[in-house]
A and B are shown apart, each in its own frame.
Chain A
Amino acid sequence: MQGLKDRLKRWSGSRLFWPLVGLVLVLFFNLIFVEGFFSIEMKDGHLYGRIIDIVKNAGCYMLLAIGMTLVVATGGIDISVGSMCAISGAVMAALVGGELSGIPHHSYGIAIAAALAVSVVLGLWNGFLVAKLEIQPVVATLILMVAGRGIAQLVTQGQIITVYYKPYAYLGSFTPGLILPTSIFIVAIVLTMALVAVKKTSLGLFIQSAGINRTATRYSGINVKKLIYMVYGFCGLCAGVAGLVISSMVKAADGNNAGLGYEMDAILAVALGGNSMNGGRFSIMGSIIGALIIQSITTTMYALGVSPQVLPVVKAVVVISICLIQSDDFRRVLADLFKKDGRSQHEQVAVKL
């Protein structure tokens, strides 16, 4: 009993604990109310099931959340990621071309490289506005948010370019030979990159430091501006990759609708992951969990056939509940309510679980 208590205490001290509890709760709910939620089968050489859908569709949220986490950690915000997704998808689709025969105009590799290059440049542009001109991040990125959709539509000439080139669909669904959705592998690559950068180099320390106290960080000899360039550039890259996945999912580039409103979901993922919106300490894994929570909620809603009208209301209630669980103060109030039974706070937590 004592050992269990200790372990529980150590776990609950971890930053990932409460986001995970949130995710588990959502999945647990599904286990009870959604028939066959966890069933997975093999189909056409890959896994197939609701859980797989969640992971697959959460891919782009995860990608966006990785970049956004770092931006938020520096005390910034990037509301242009949705638009950047659209641009990157548009660039890729435009280069591959919408030939019915499925023959690409340019090689697929070139198209991807070009799309990502454009995304990085756009990210650096945001960095330039924030770091160099010291414009507040919301307005700085608002510019690209507005312009981005225009640019994407300019690239596609307002059309939805449908791509018939077969491999185009791989990124957003399955690659032949792999049993898991391709997006998992892409997320794994980007995530590893990000984790290596923040854990194996001092970037993580510097980013946190800059997010908490920019002046003191500058005084310590850290080039905060360069850091901001880097972070926004990386966020652009993440958005670019996400854009490729989004575009590949529907085998088309839609300048207007691709990634529409995704910036909010990305930010929500970061916040649900237990990260402070004021910058400083961050956890990329937390954001990944946040992204999974968001996608799980959506999938659940569809699975339950929640009527489209009340869908947002339910979403609001779920989001608030998950955040309430994460709030120390709320748990304390709850614990105080229960304390009358003479039980300790930790047992309370256990009971609630």
Chain B
Amino acid sequence: MNKLQLSSKYLSLIVTIFLFFLLFALGSLKFTGFFSLQNFLNLFIDNAYLIIMAIGTTFILIAGGIDISVGAVLSLTCMLSAYLLEMKHLNPFLVMALMLLMGAAFGLIQGALIHFFKMQPFIVTLAGMFFARGMTAVISIDTIDITDKTYELIANYRIPVFGGAFISISVVIAVIALLIAAYIAHFTKFGRTAYAIGGNEQSAVLMGLSVGRTKIGIYMLGGICSTLSGIVFSFYMRSGFTLHGLGMEMESIASAVIGGTLLTGGVGSVFGTLFGVLIQGTIQTLVMFQGTLSSWWTKIAVAILLCLFIVMQSLLTARRIRKKSQVLKSDISHT
């Protein structure tokens, strides 16, 4: 009985993971070369930055907010790092630290505006998006190539894993970020308060939780995730460019939501988000392996796969919840 109840609590996560593997199996059956460890790991290599960004988004959504500045902040990070590395020749690790600091400051300002002046997160972060994008262009409208040795080394380094397959350092960073995020979400007061705020902000206040500090902290965390994601993205792209990460905020939000995070707040997990990212990655890979679709059919195919996935997720979850009430019933007849 206990197990059943447990599974119902993690139901949406389980369904999501299950569907992900189903999708992957589908691709493996259909396309040669799809089913390989490397192709699986490529999902991580190619999406490391998105995983990190979506972690931040997940926290913000859990706390009942929204942040659409993330893509632009990523772009700003790439550009500013490139500028500092190439034009100012700063130490690469100093640059990374500065970037994270900038993310925290950016989040701090956004969070403070949202908390103290009760401004809507959507607008504040939309303005944040304009601002970051604009600043990127102000630094340089030309692409700045990152030729720094350390960045090059990190970008090209391949960590061998089982059987000739490899991962990149970015993947390691993403995994560590994921673990830390999971720890914050489930084992710290800060994380739990975020859930409470998302569940019911007014109640959280009345329960005597430090709502303001947590809310601002969450946006700072979001900012840090965006910049970390930007750093990883600059390993990936090795350049600063105004159009990097265009529209990435939607990918990030979609990943979190597909992974089971509620936009209304209070519910979600970073592991769900990881699978949200992987699912989008798999859908993309499937379409790429297909290789005969025209540009428009590509979009339609991506949407159809996404739609199938979401509908299945919705139906499966609903069915199982009905089952859950049956469990409840038998529970009662025992007592």
Please list the residues of chain A having a beta carbon within 8 angstroms of any beta carbon in chain B.
75, 79, 129, 133-140, 142-147, 149-154, 158, 255, 264, 267-268, 271-272, 276-277, 308-317, 319-320, 323-324, 327-330, 333
| Minimum CB–CB distance for A124 against chain B, Å | 15
| Minimum CB–CB distance for B137 against chain A, Å | 4
C-alpha gap A64/B14 in the complex (Å): 38
Inter-chain contact A79/B250, CB cutoff 8 Å: yes
Is residue B19 contacting chain A, with contact meaning CB distance below 8 A? no
Inter-chain contact B137/A327, CB cutoff 8 Å: no
Inter-chain contact B296/A255, CB cutoff 8 Å: yes
Inter-chain contact B127/A143, CB cutoff 8 Å: no
Beta-carbon nearest neighbor of B315 in chain A: A133
For B119, the chain A residues whose CB sits under 8 A away are 323-324, 327, 330
Smallest CB-CB A-B distances: 4 pairs: A150-B299, A147-B303, A313-B134, A312-B134
Interface of B, helix, strand, loop or mixed by DSSP: helix
Given contacts A150-B303, A154-B297, contact A313 B250 (CB under 8 A): no
Given contacts A137-B263, A138-B257, contact A323 B306 (CB under 8 A): no
Given contacts A136-B257, A137-B263, contact A316 B303 (CB under 8 A): no
B305-325 interface code vs A (CB 8 A; 1 in, 0 out): 011001100110010000000
Beta-carbon nearest neighbor of B141 in chain A: A309
Contact of B130 among A135, A145, A154, A313 (CB under 8 A): A313
Inter-chain contact A146/B306, CB cutoff 8 Å: yes
For A79, the chain B residues whose CB sits under 8 A away are 250
Contact of A330 among B117, B122, B123, B257 (CB under 8 A): B117
Contact of A138 among B123, B254, B306 (CB under 8 A): B254
| Minimum CB–CB distance for B83 against chain A, Å | 14
Inter-chain contact A134/B117, CB cutoff 8 Å: no
C-alpha gap A69/B201 in the complex (Å): 24
| Minimum CB–CB distance for A42 against chain B, Å | 37
Given contacts A315-B134, A323-B123, contact A133 B117 (CB under 8 A): no
| Minimum CB–CB distance for A256 against chain B, Å | 9
Q: What 6 additional pairs, Cβ within 8 angstroms, besides A134-B318, A150-B298, A327-B118?
A: A133-B311, A143-B310, A276-B120, A313-B131, A323-B123, A329-B116
Report 8 cross-chain contacts, Cβ distance below 8 Å, ordered by A residue.
Answer: A138-B254, A139-B310, A149-B299, A271-B126, A308-B137, A314-B134, A320-B127, A329-B117
Is residue B294 contacting chain A, with contact meaning CB distance below 8 A? yes
For B135, the chain A residues whose CB sits under 8 A away are 313
Beta-carbon nearest neighbor of B317 in chain A: A134
| Minimum CB–CB distance for A74 against chain B, Å | 13
For B118, the chain A residues whose CB sits under 8 A away are 327-329
For B295, the chain A residues whose CB sits under 8 A away are 150, 153, 158
Is residue B138 contacting chain A, with contact meaning CB distance below 8 A? yes
C-alpha gap A133/B310 in the complex (Å): 9
Contact of B117 among A267, A276, A316, A327 (CB under 8 A): A327
Inter-chain contact B113/A320, CB cutoff 8 Å: yes
Q: Choose among A129, A150, A310, A324 the residue with the greatest number of B CB atoms under 10 Å from its CB.
A: A150
